[in-house]
Amino acid sequence: MADDLKHRYLEPHRHYHTLGHIQFGFSEYFKFFDKMDPTIFFAWAYHDAIYEPTRDDNEVRSAMVFEKDNPTLGFDIEDADKIVGLILSTTHTEHTNIVTDIDLAGLGAAPEQYDENCRLIRMEYNFASDEMWKMGRSAFLKKFLARPQLYFSPQFAGTYTLLAQENMRRELAALQVVDSKPTNS
């Protein structure tokens, strides 16, 4: 089971959503907290178990991987439902929680790391034309910049909100500058 999960994060089409992303998330969490509830641990570990950039049901499918593994993990119905809910929350709707905070911590990374994360995510979307990428990424950034609350916990909010907003505005401006460049005919 653990090997299966590990191999999922090592799939060749992944560049950002890898074991490094999972390790980074744990590292970010433990900057603020001394211990982690097992439900949070497993929700984070499984949240990107399935990652196919061309699909919009990755979170549901990741939750299904957890549910398949749960008989071995041994969570009761209540905790298993909580884990599934936390995994599903990483669709990044308006609802936030500690797992979404962990997932969004990279938005508040130092600018160089943020830019590298963007480069790796773009590699995962290598099937998309530049125009398609700019449109989708711009919509993503605008949606997050419009949110009244980016992070759930005071720890993540206080540490990452301003830099995350700066990073996203900077990226959005760069995407728009690229959009406005004249094309050669």
- List, as own/partner pairs, every contact residues 7-11 make where C-beta atoms lie below 8 angstroms and the sequence separation is at least 24, other chains included: 8/49, 8/50, 8/51, 8/65, 9/48, 9/49, 11/51
Q: How far apart are CA 99 and CA 121, in angstroms?
A: 19
pLDDT in tens, 54-102: 999 999 999 999 999 999 999 999 999 999 999 998 877 666 789 999 9
Domain limits, the chain: 2-180
Q: Which SS3 state, helix, strand or coil, does residue 185 take?
A: coil
Q: Summarize pLDDT for 7-54 with one digit per residue, the tens.
A: 999 999 999 999 999 999 999 999 999 999 999 999 999 999 999 999
pTM: 0.89
* 48 CB-near residues (< 8 Å, 6+ apart): 9, 17, 21, 22, 58, 62, 90
